[in-house]
Amino acid sequence: MRYDDRIMAPVLPVLDLRSDAVASELRRACEDDGFFYVAHHGVPSELLADVRARARSFFARPLEEKLELHFEKAQKQRGYIPLRAESTDPNAVGDEKEALDFTYPIPAGRRERRGRSRMYGENLWPCTLPGFRPAIESYLDEMIRLGRRLFECIAESLELPPSYFHDKTDRPIAQLRLLHYPPQERVDERYLGIGAHCDYECFTILDPGEVEGLQIQDAHGEWMDVKPIPDTFVVNLGEMLARWTNDLFAATPHRVINRTGRERYTGSSNKY
């Protein structure tokens, strides 16, 4: 992992999905960093701006209204998660964030694999925000499309046919998380936006928003800031893909601390 000493931040690769060299560049990024940016991803900027605005509008609603969508009502890994209701780091007080979770709908006829029924169910939608549901569903469609494109690039980087992962990811347990990180008054190892962790799925596509706070851990255990770059997503690999590649690809620890004094909004799409 290379660093820019002027800003003490990792120099992560920016992959152009239109480039003929994207597969080889992706392989280097997956082996060396486990994190990279993707540009020219095809997600309409108007849709992304709309989803960001709708996330801000939801999290600004009164707590009583947000609790109407509490995740315990769905029991299927979807719904509203209040501030400090999760603790990613067991040594921390609780994550300094609130979230609204959705999963990608799978038609009933394609849910035949045993053990997956606990993951399928209906999303919970706010009833006081007109247009919220179609915007989120359109965004979910775009994230599934982008995820499939990334799987094709991953296959090519491993010298496999581009379609290699198609039949392995045709029923994705894909989750979209809208996240809100209030400014943190206390910043120490017990008060984190999200505690240090590696993701468990194949990869995560993150809209980092406009306010920084994401950090990744280097090989020496030091935490380095990942700066948002306009018109890009941040992609990080999870432990599933590391396992599938016999640890050829890296799952890198990361966390969030909002030291900016500003509200931070992001959209995290966990894939497959």
Specify the 3-state DSSP secondary structure of 270: strand
HSE of 173 in the Cβ direction (CA atoms, 13 Å)? 16
- Most confident option among 115-119, 158-162, 184-188: 158-162
Question: For residues 155 and 144, what is the distance between their CA atoms, to the nearest angstrom?
Answer: 16
Q: What local confidence, expressed as pLDDT, does residue 74 receive?
A: 80
Contact 211, 52 (CB under 8 A): no
Domain boundary assignment for the chain: 3-271
Q: For the beta carbon of residue 163, count every other beta carbon within 10 angstroms.
A: 11
Q: What local confidence, expressed as pLDDT, does residue 94 receive?
A: 85
Q: What is the mean pLDDT of residues 198-221?
A: 92
pLDDT of 160 > 50? The answer is: yes
In this predicted model, which residue has the larger pLDDT, 171 or 251? 251
pLDDT, tens digit, for every residue of 140-155?
Answer: 999 999 999 999 999 9
Single pTM value for the model = 0.90
Report CA-CA distances (Å) from 14 to 25, 116, 215, 231.
9, 35, 17, 11
Question: For residues 213 and 225, what is the distance between their CA atoms, to the nearest angstrom?
Answer: 7
The CATH code that applies to domain 3-271 is 2.60.120.330
